Chain A
Amino acid sequence: QKEVEQDPGPLSVPEGAIVSLNCTYSNSAFQYFMWYRQYSRKGPELLMYTYSSGNKEDGRFTAQVDKSSKYISLFIRDSQPSDSATYLCAMSADSGYSTLTFGKGTMLLVSP
């Protein structure tokens, strides 16, 4: 079993839909959780960064962490065609990027 599991998709939704992207993990020591967005043929860019459990909101994006279930989610409200990208979850047991473990990424397609 991989440490971080993420459905590769693609996930296709109409514009304006609420999108839910998820990752599960097995390492209970993970406490730093991130979501990266990667457009085609570009490098990943950080979208959300959370520590431990709870919710974090930034505009149309909400990140949730449920450490008891080892489950993290990214919600996108009022999705736009410009949100079409691959979303990578990443997590680590400490604050150092040397130990960051990435999911394989979920491709999201938002149609106008």
Chain B
Amino acid sequence: DAGITQSPRYKITETGRQVTLMCHQTWSHSYMFWYRQDLGHGLRLIYYSAAADITDKGEVPDGYVVSRSKTENFPLTLESATRSQTSVYFCASSEPQGSMNTEAFFGQGTRLTVV
């Protein structure tokens, strides 16, 4: 199916464990993003990527690692999960047109609980 998919949809993990959230898009969009959404904070950008092998930090990157070896995949790794990383994580992708960025398409989200 065409679109952007995240896996898993739900994850419970223990403090200190490494966790990887997967994101896959079928449009070959250049840009991909990871956001976290928390009550009281809204959506905050963790990392983004403008192309394969190009990544950059967003507003809240500490404790997270990303990679983008292929255009269609953008995994997010929590190196040592903490309770403060309990959140809903959204992946998104977009393809700029000229000087204007176009619509960002969001995945369904991964609900992560760190216990």
Interface residues on B, range: 20 to 34
Stretch from A10-18, A36-44, A53-61 forming part of the interface with B? A36-44
Given contacts A45-B106, A49-B103, contact A100 B45 (CB under 8 A): yes
Question: Is residue B104 within 8 Å, beta carbon to beta carbon, of the partner chain?
Answer: yes
Q: Is the CB of A44 within 8 A of B43?
A: yes
Interface residues on A, range: 20 to 34
The answer, among B99, B105, B109, for a CB contact under 8 Å with A42, is: B109
23 pairs from A and B in contact (CB 8 Å cutoff):
A41-B108, A41-B109, A42-B108, A42-B109, A43-B90, A43-B92, A43-B107, A43-B108, A43-B109, A44-B106, A45-B105, A46-B104, A51-B100, A95-B96, A95-B101, A97-B48, A97-B94, A98-B33, A98-B48, A98-B50, A98-B56, A100-B104, A103-B42
**B residues in contact (CB < 8 Å) with A:** 31, 33, 40-45, 48, 50, 56, 58, 90, 92, 94, 96, 99-101, 103-109
On chain A, the residues within 8 Å of B103 by CB distance are 46, 49
On chain A, the residues within 8 Å of B99 by CB distance are 95
Chain B contact residues, majority secondary structure: strand
Which residue on chain B has the smallest CB distance to residue A41?
Answer: B109
Most buried by B among A6, A95, A98: A98
On chain B, the residues within 8 Å of A49 by CB distance are 103
On chain A, the residues within 8 Å of B48 by CB distance are 97-98
**A residues in contact (CB < 8 Å) with B:** 6, 41-46, 49, 51, 88, 90, 95-98, 100, 102-105
Which residue on chain A has the smallest CB distance to residue B101?
Answer: A95
On chain B, the residues within 8 Å of A41 by CB distance are 108-109
What 3 pairs across the A-B complex have the smallest Cβ distances?
A: A43-B106, A104-B42, A102-B43
Which residue on chain A has the smallest CB distance to residue B6?
Answer: A43
Minimum CB–CB distance from A59 to chain B (whole Å) comes to: 17
Minimum CB–CB distance from B70 to chain A (whole Å) comes to: 20
Report the Cα distance A51→B99, complex, angstroms. 12
On chain B, the residues within 8 Å of A51 by CB distance are 100
Most buried by A among B96, B105, B106: B106
